Amino acid sequence: MQVIILAAGQGKRMRSRLPKVLQPIAAKAMLRHVIDTARQLDPRRICVVYGHGGDQVRAAISDADLAWAEQAQQLGTGHAVAQAMPQIDDKGVALILYGDVPLTRVETLKDLVAATDGGRVGLLTVHMDDPKGYGRIIRSADGAVQAIVEEKDASPEQRKITEVNTGILCVPVAQLRNWLSRLSNNNAQGEYYLTDIIAMAVSDDVVVEARQPAAVWETLGVNNKLQLAELERIHQRNIANALMENGVTVIDPARIDVRGELSCEPDVEIDVGCVFEGKVTLGENVKIGAHCVLRNVSVAAGTRIAPFSHLDDSSVGANCIIGPYARLRPGTTLAEDVHIGNFVEIKNSNVAAHSKANHLAYVGDADVGSKVNIGAGVITVNYDGVNKYRTTIGDNAFVGSDSQLIAPVTVGKGATVAAGTTLTADAPADELTIARARQTTVPGWKRPVKK
């Protein structure tokens, strides 16, 4: 089996400089969705027919194993498929898909391919309450598919038909090549319709086997930003449904966005407005508060992430408490039972078990030991304007509020750094270190008065 993906349309109604097939669903180009689905069918070849914005399309989808065919002139779907035929061999069948129809399920396509057994043509159709704009399926008295009539060429009686063509079909390649050579553009659009091969197949005594998807949304294409948004919500609701079927509590399935791969163990709870990007793994009984953003993050069992926290390229251990309004930046690793509180930022740092930074702190390029307390307003000063330096804080250390640790510096095991200290040299283990100006009161001093 080989796959031809038609992706040459201009998409004027998108009103965007980005080619239509590169418009995103769940942060992934629609064309990429179609290619990823096609790969699951294990085809011998995938050929993408491109046209408008071709340089952008080929730059964005640069997979080495794809074949490409250019449709320089937009002369219809039949003409588009014909451009791909030099890349397609005559063995087996060709499955024809569309770069702007991103949500077709693999199971539906497998069923369609199976319908071609015995040299038949497999045609995906769907029943619509409002079929306006779609080609109608013409059947004989015994129910056999006879032809597809485009709406502009249909009679008033034919327009009443609710079974419509989705454009997706699977055809024996040798016959497809023959039928394409016989297409005519003698129609209302002046185009070479791929749909005309259905009547040719019937004329050549080839059975056309119709199949239907489980849901209409599998066949919906995108022509404008409104339709793009509608498919986005359908896709996200499908993801939410799958999560809930696997034991995840999604507080509102209409308010979740997964823009990558989200893997959850049982009893995970996700509140409203959360966004998951890249690869995110959530362990058993993890709770994600409202309006959190997680990107390329693993979170171990029992951890609670409070609302409005952002975690990026980080690893969080079991039974931690993060947030609210916390930020974990790339390179952060937290061990078990770590507390990172409101308006605390951790970057490129390792924090060992049972340590905490509960208020308004910045920990960057640091290695923090176990059972460390980092007070409010503490800053690891890691950057001199040119280079980054690391800070080391030993087990059981206590860093008082509003202290600055000027890296590279080490706070020894069990050390206490007094509040307000600016630490420029190592603080010895098990000792109190203070580095601040002596408090002075100036007798008789008066605050200036505006003249």
450 part of a folded domain? no
pLDDT in tens, 208-222: 999 999 999 999 999
Residues 182 and 58 in one domain: yes
Residues 7 and 110 in one domain: yes
Which of 199, 219, 239 is where one domain is finished?
Answer: 219
Residues 136 and 275 in one domain: no
Q: pLDDT at position 437, please? A: 86
352 part of a folded domain? yes
Contact 193, 150 (CB under 8 A): yes
Q: Work out the percent of the chain whose per-residue pLDDT is above 70.
A: 100
Q: pLDDT at position 80, please? A: 96
Higher-confidence position of 436 and 123: 123
Residues 215 and 362 in one domain: no
Residues 12 and 112 in one domain: yes
Q: pLDDT at position 228, please? A: 97
Report how many domains make up the chain.
2
Q: pLDDT at position 161, please? A: 96
274 membership: H or E segment, kind and range: strand 274-282
- Please determine, for residue 415, whether its predicted confidence score (pLDDT) is greater than 90: yes
Residues 73 and 117 in one domain: yes
In this prediction, residues 3-17 reach a mean pLDDT of: 92
**How far is the C-alpha of 59 from the C-alpha of 293, rounded, in Å?**
29
442 part of a folded domain? no
- Determine the structural domain holding residue 271 and report its residue range: 249-433
- Please determine, for residue 138, whether its predicted confidence score (pLDDT) is greater than 90: yes
Looking up tokens 């980092």, which residue turns up?
374
Confidence of residue 323 (pLDDT cuts 50, 70, 90): very high
Residues 153 and 269 in one domain: no
64 part of a folded domain? yes
- Please determine, for residue 418, whether its predicted confidence score (pLDDT) is greater than 90: yes
Contact 9, 98 (CB under 8 A): no
Q: pLDDT at position 11, please? A: 84
Torsion sign, CA atoms 77, 80, 81, 82: positive
Residue 116: HSE in the Cβ half-sphere, 13 Å Cα cutoff: 22
Looking up tokens 């008033």, which residue turns up?
156
Burial (CB < 10 A; 0-12, 13-18, 19+), residue 67, is: middle
Q: pLDDT at position 217, please? A: 97
243 part of a folded domain? no
In this prediction, residues 115-124 reach a mean pLDDT of: 96
Mean pLDDT, the chain, rounded, equals: 96
Residues 312 and 272 in one domain: yes
pLDDT in tens, 246-291: 999 999 999 999 999 999 999 999 999 999 999 999 999 999 999 9
Q: pLDDT at position 25, please? A: 97
Which residues, in sequence order, are CB contacts of 102 under 8 Å at separation 6+?
25, 30, 31, 33, 34, 222, 231, 235
Q: pLDDT at position 357, please? A: 98
- Tell me how far CA of residue 208 lies from CA of 145, 169, 205, 244, 256, in angstroms: 6, 10, 9, 39, 41
263 alpha carbon, distance to own chain's centre? 13
**How far is the C-alpha of 268 from the C-alpha of 62, rounded, in Å?**
36
261 part of a folded domain? yes
Give the CATH number, domain containing residue 277: 2.160.10.10
- Our separate counts of H helices and E strands in the chain read 7, 37
278 part of a folded domain? yes
- Tell me how far CA of residue 414 lies from CA of 168, 402, 410, in angstroms: 69, 19, 12
- Tell which residue, 275, 232, 233, 219, has the closest CA to residue 23: 232
pLDDT in tens, 82-102: 999 999 999 999 999 999 999
Q: pLDDT at position 9, please? A: 86
In this prediction, residues 241-245 reach a mean pLDDT of: 97
Residues 25 and 169 in one domain: yes
- Please determine, for residue 382, whether its predicted confidence score (pLDDT) is greater than 90: yes
Confidence of residue 300 (pLDDT cuts 50, 70, 90): very high
φ and ψ of 84, to 5 deg: -85, -20
Number of Cβ atoms within 10 Å of the Cβ of 281: 17
- Tell me how far CA of residue 318 lies from CA of 268, 269, 305, 378, 413, in angstroms: 13, 15, 12, 25, 24
pLDDT in tens, 340-360: 999 999 999 999 999 999 999
Question: Residues 336, 342, 345, CA angle at the centre, nearest 5°?
Answer: 70
In this prediction, residues 178-185 reach a mean pLDDT of: 94
- Look up residue 173 and give its DSSP letter: H
Tell me which residues are annotated as active site.
359
Residues 287 and 345 in one domain: yes
Residues 295 and 213 in one domain: no
pTM (2 decimals)? 0.91
In this prediction, residues 365-377 reach a mean pLDDT of: 98
In this prediction, residues 423-437 reach a mean pLDDT of: 95
Q: pLDDT at position 333, please? A: 98
Contact 170, 96 (CB under 8 A): yes
Residues 259 and 196 in one domain: no
Q: pLDDT at position 234, please? A: 97
In this prediction, residues 232-255 reach a mean pLDDT of: 97
- Please determine, for residue 188, whether its predicted confidence score (pLDDT) is greater than 90: no
pLDDT in tens, 14-61: 999 999 999 999 999 999 999 999 999 999 999 999 998 889 999 999
Q: Work out the percent of the chain whose per-residue pLDDT is above 90.
A: 93
Give the CATH number, domain containing residue 169: 3.90.550.10
163 part of a folded domain? yes
Q: pLDDT at position 439, please? A: 87
Q: pLDDT at position 326, please? A: 98
Q: pLDDT at position 74, please? A: 87
355: tokens are 């340590």
205 alpha carbon, distance to own chain's centre? 45
Contact 71, 57 (CB under 8 A): no
Q: pLDDT at position 431, please? A: 97
Number of Cβ atoms within 10 Å of the Cβ of 221: 17
